[in-house]
Amino acid sequence: MNAIDLYSGIGGWTLGMKLSGVHHSKSYEWLPVSNVTHNNNFNSDNKEIDIRKLRMSDIPKSGTVDFVVGSPPCTQFSFSNRGGKGDIEDGLVDIYKFFEIVEYLKPKYWVMENVPRVSKIIDTLVEEDKRFMKFKGLFNFNEEVDFSKYGVPQKRKRTICGNFP
């Protein structure tokens, strides 16, 4: 399987793909310090790119990627940021871009991770927001998951959204 990761940070998804035997072809990250760390961790040469400005011509062709993974910035959605009063509209720009890329690439599987409250935000968006309604059929899973039930040594809840078995 061929995979890319969006908002790759220092490479958590990349490491998971490599450990699972998935061929990781490209990572996309906008924050220079995260991208440098990612490149050092994986001996890669990814350039920083503003994912919000990413054109479809900048990514692989539709149908050539089996798996898209990623973690768009969560700071606008997190209750830890200004008591949960972040700029949600700004954060939605990244969620929209992620969905737009998934829609274009048509991967067999995709997964997006974010803070817990994003699950409910996405549910509301695909039902009520005209911009997001077109993405409703993209995913078969959108739930808050407690990672302590899967071996993480702390109670850590995250939203997992995607299309996978």
Task: Check residue 130 and give left, alpha or beta (phi > 0: left; psi -120 to 50: alpha).
Answer: alpha
Question: What amino acid is encoded at 128 in this protein?
Answer: E
Average per-residue pLDDT for the chain: 92
Nearest-CA neighbor of 46 among 2, 94, 97, 5? 5
Give pLDDT tens digits for 38-92: 999 999 999 999 999 999 999 999 999 999 999 998 877 776 655 556 787 888 9
Percentage above 70 pLDDT, the chain: 96
Distance from the Cα of residue 130 to its chain's centroid = 21
How confident is the model over 91-118, as a mean pLDDT? 95
Q: What is the pLDDT of residue 84?
A: 57
Contact by Cβ (8 Å): 69, 26: no
110 pairs with which residues across the strands?
Answer: 68, 163
pLDDT for residue 96 is more than 80: yes
Distance from the Cα of residue 84 to its chain's centroid = 20
Q: How far is CA 125 from CA 32, 114, 118, in A?
A: 31, 15, 10
Give pLDDT tens digits for 134-163: 999 999 999 999 999 999 899 889 999 999
